[in-house]
Structure 1
Amino acid sequence: MTNSSATAPMALDDVAVLMPAYNGQADVDLTLASFSESAPVHVLIVDDGSTPPIVAPALANLRIEVLRLAQNGGIERALQTGIDALAQRGFRYAARIDAGDRAVPQRLAKQRAFMEQHPHVAGLGMWTQVVTRAGKPLFMLTPPADPDAIRRMRFFRSCLAHPSMMLRIDAVRAVGNYRAEYRAAEDLDLFVRLMERYDCANLPELGLYYELNEGGISATRRRRQIGSTLRLQLRYFNAANPYDWLGLAKNLLHLVMPYRALQRVKRVLLAPRASH
């Protein structure tokens, strides 16, 4: 008689966590320590020219490789390099996370099982609890799960939380991988291209604790991010889709609204969901 539990540790052999990192060793350690899976977890840290270099922490059940880039070239290049490296190593799935964020237990197993059952899904996110640096809950992101709804609203709201995503590596490379053409919006650029040929979906359950870091890309490169998003919206604009019009108006508003004011609005609108 075959014991099914005996094969469980092999279940994540084709999955690797992909984490770009620039300095912030303590955040790297915190994030990797949050992974709790029944099978060994493979991790590729792309060290984007950190000083001092990022060091792989010694953590039980994690097999960690650090791929160091000689110079800091930005998250877009780091992610592109990471995807290519994982493909060369034979992995099928890349599970994104950023230093400072925390994974919910069994996140990888749940996402992989869904993607195995839905081969046309190239990217799968999860609901995200936004927290402060101290871990205090701020608000919950509960985007739609259905691929068609995500495709309709892709420019109106953040339908796919990038650090919560599991990506099908061959699909990412088939559409051109991450690229630097839309800096600070490399995730949306990739998702739009993926949705031209595949589906993207969400598991409607908590998968990630996202740290709101006011020194992060969304804050420090905000105007560049909004500019890149607007360029993407105009390139893929569908006048028959009302959500494209709403998304255009929303991002023009973001362009003139101070970052802290925008975060306060989000907290007011989304805070009631934080307790769910």
Structure 2
Amino acid sequence: MTNPSANAQIALDDVAVLMPAYNGQADVNLTLASFDESALVHVLIIDDGSTPPIVAPALPNLRIEVLRMPENGGIERALQTGIDALAQRGFRYAARIDAGDRSVPQRLAKQRAFMESHPHVAGLGMWTQVVTRAGEPLFMLMPPAAPDVIRRQRFLRSCLAHPSMMLRVDAVRAVGNYRADYRSAEDLDLFVRLMERYDCANLPELGLYYELNEGGISATKRRRQITSTMRLQLRYFNVANPCDWLGLAKNFLHLVTPYRALQRVKRVLLAPRANH
């Protein structure tokens, strides 16, 4: 991999952080303050009808624009609007993150360098440390790096951590952008469509601290998320792929198992990796 600090000022001119936000000004401030890059960081916040409206914090080395939606329409519409806005502004790459999460230093430069040298990769994630609201480590998500493994296991496990992703804006728009057909599973829907025409991969190193928020989509809209995921599994089901069968069974189990019980199991199984 090339040295991400070389030509850093040029390297990030076509990258923009894309962050949807609904209320939670303090979380927005915390997340944006975590970016530490050698070049100016461009940020587009999609304010999804917050009251009061989200205000761009004054932070060094960040150029922040807030695009306000007329009313709260959900993350799917906010992300779709964000991708179109980045295309109109001439950005090639969208670096996803959610309010409350924190970036690892030089994440953007590393991801962009990889994608420049791998032009068929349309989406690139990184390993993710899951933490509590207080920042205490819970467990590490270390998904596979290789595109063929990700494609095979796409319904068996969470192979791509959405807030850690860098996406090619033109590729996302070429496959139909984010959409609301699979509510609360808009990320998996996009990734599956991307992988029909391009590759998705992971950088096998820490890139994101993901806050496990009991009020987040995965907790409060869990049944909708699982149902949407199962609909996607059935639509793209490959009978010759054992991982598709296992993934369907796994999500059925998730559907009938309480959320807190699943989180306890995850912490027991993955906690030994937390300090890796």
* TM-score, normalised via structure 1 length: 0.98
The whole-number CA distance in structure 1 between the counterparts of 2:98 and 2:7 is 30
Matching residue of 2:260:
260
The whole-number CA distance in structure 2 between the counterparts of 1:30 and 1:227 is 32
Give the letter for the 1:69 counterpart: M
> 1:108-153 CA distances to partner (integer Å, 9 max, x unpaired)?
0000000000000000000000000000000000000000000000
Shift >4 Å, 4+ stretches: none
> 1:205-254 CA distances to partner (integer Å, 9 max, x unpaired)?
00000000000000000000000000000000001000000000000000
Matching residue of 2:134:
134
- 1:101 equivalent to 2:101? Answer yes
Give matches, 1:176-195, under 5 Å. 176-195=176-195
> 1:43-73 CA distances to partner (integer Å, 9 max, x unpaired)?
0000000000000000000000000001000
Give matches, 1:80-95, under 5 Å. 80-95=80-95
Matching residue of 1:146:
146
* TM-score, normalised via structure 2 length: 0.98
Give the letter for the 1:190 counterpart: L
Contact 2:8 2:109 (8 Å CA) reproduced = no
In the alignment, structure 1 segments of 5+ residues that lack a partner are none
1:8 to partner: Cα distance = 2.9
Matching residue of 1:162:
162
SS in 2 for 1:49: coil
The whole-number CA distance in structure 1 between the counterparts of 2:184 and 2:8 is 38
In the alignment, structure 2 segments of 5+ residues that lack a partner are none
Matching residue of 1:203:
203
SS in 1 for 2:135: coil
Q: Kindly report the root-mean-square deviation, in angstroms, between the aligned alpha carbons of the 2 structures.
A: 1.1
The whole-number CA distance in structure 1 between the counterparts of 2:96 and 2:9 is 21
Change (3 A) 1:154 1:6: closer
The count of corresponding residues between Structure 1 and Structure 2 is 273
Matching residue of 1:47:
47
Matching residue of 1:9:
9
SS in 1 for 2:17: strand
The whole-number CA distance in structure 2 between the counterparts of 1:8 and 1:253 is 46
1:11 to partner: Cα distance = 1.5
The whole-number CA distance in structure 2 between the counterparts of 1:6 and 1:30 is 27
